[in-house]
Amino acid sequence: MYELILVRYGELGLKGKNKSQFINRLVRNIERSLKGLAPRKVESTWGRIWVPVVNDMEETIERLTKVFGIYSVSPVIKTEKSLEAIQQAALRVLHDALPDGGRFKVETRRSDKTFPMTSPEISKAVAGYLFANSDDIYQAEMHHPQHVVDIEVRGEGAFVYGRVIPGAKGLPVGASGRAVLMISGGIDSPVAGWMAMKRGVTFDGIHFESFPFTSNRAKQKVIDLCRVLAGWGGKVRLHVVHFTEIQKAIRQHCREEYMITIMRRMMFRIAERIARERKAFAIYTGESVGQVASQTLESMFTINNVTNMPVLRPLVGMDKEEIIQIAQKIGTFDISIRPYEDCCTVFLPDYPKIRARLEEAQNMEILLDIDELINDALAHTEVLEIYQEEI
Using the minimum distance from each CB to Mg ion, give the nearer residue, 186 or 331.
Answer: 186
| Residue 202, binding choice from Mg ion, ligand ATP, none, Cβ under 5 to 8 Å by partner class | none
Inter-residue contact 145 to 104 (CB < 8 Å): yes
Q: Which residue is nearest to ligand ATP (CB)?
A: 186
286 binds ligand ATP (CB under 6 A): yes
Q: Which residue is nearest to Mg ion (CB)?
A: 186
Rounded to a whole number of angstroms, the minimum distance from the CB of residue 284 to ligand ATP is 7
User: Per CB under 5 A, which region of 103-111, 178-186, 202-210, 271-279 contacts Mg ion?
Assistant: 178-186
Site for ligand ATP (CB under 6 A): how many residues?
Answer: 20
Rounded to a whole number of angstroms, the minimum distance from the CB of residue 43 to Mg ion is 44
Return the closest-CA partner of residue 381 out of 243, 241, 246: 241
Amino acid at 22: F
Q: Which of 172, 287, 335, 361 binds ligand ATP (CB under 6 A)?
A: 287
Q: Which of 108, 184, 302, 304 binds Mg ion (CB under 5 A)?
A: 184
Between CA 37 and CA 54 the distance in angstroms is 7
Is the alpha carbon torsion for 337, 342, 344, 346 positive or negative?
Answer: positive
| Residue 183, binding choice from ligand ATP, Mg ion, none, Cβ under 5 to 8 Å by partner class | ligand ATP
Using the minimum distance from each CB to ligand ATP, give the nearer residue, 202 or 285.
Answer: 285
Rounded to a whole number of angstroms, the minimum distance from the CB of residue 385 to ligand ATP is 18
State the number of CA atoms in the 13 A half-sphere of 126 facing the CB.
31
Rounded to a whole number of angstroms, the minimum distance from the CB of residue 238 to ligand ATP is 10
What string marks each residue from 323 to 362 as x (binds ligand ATP by CB under 6 A) or -?
Answer: -------------------xxx------------------
For residue 19, count other CB atoms closer than 10 A to its CB: 13
DSSP one-letter string for 244-311: HHHHHHHHHHS-GGGHHHHHHHHHHHHHHHHHHHTT---EE----TTSSGGGSHHHHHHHHTT--S-E
Strands 147-154 and 236-242: unpaired
| 338 Cα distance to chain centroid | 22
Inter-residue contact 141 to 107 (CB < 8 Å): no
Using the minimum distance from each CB to Mg ion, give the nearer residue, 165 or 346.
Answer: 346
Return the closest-CA partner of residue 126 out of 91, 101, 98: 91
Residue 105 pairs in a beta bridge with: 148
Using the minimum distance from each CB to ligand ATP, give the nearer residue, 38 or 300.
Answer: 300
Using the minimum distance from each CB to ligand ATP, give the nearer residue, 122 or 218.
Answer: 218
Interacting residues toward ligand ATP by CB under 6 A? 182-184, 186-189, 206-208, 285-287, 291-292, 294-295, 342-344
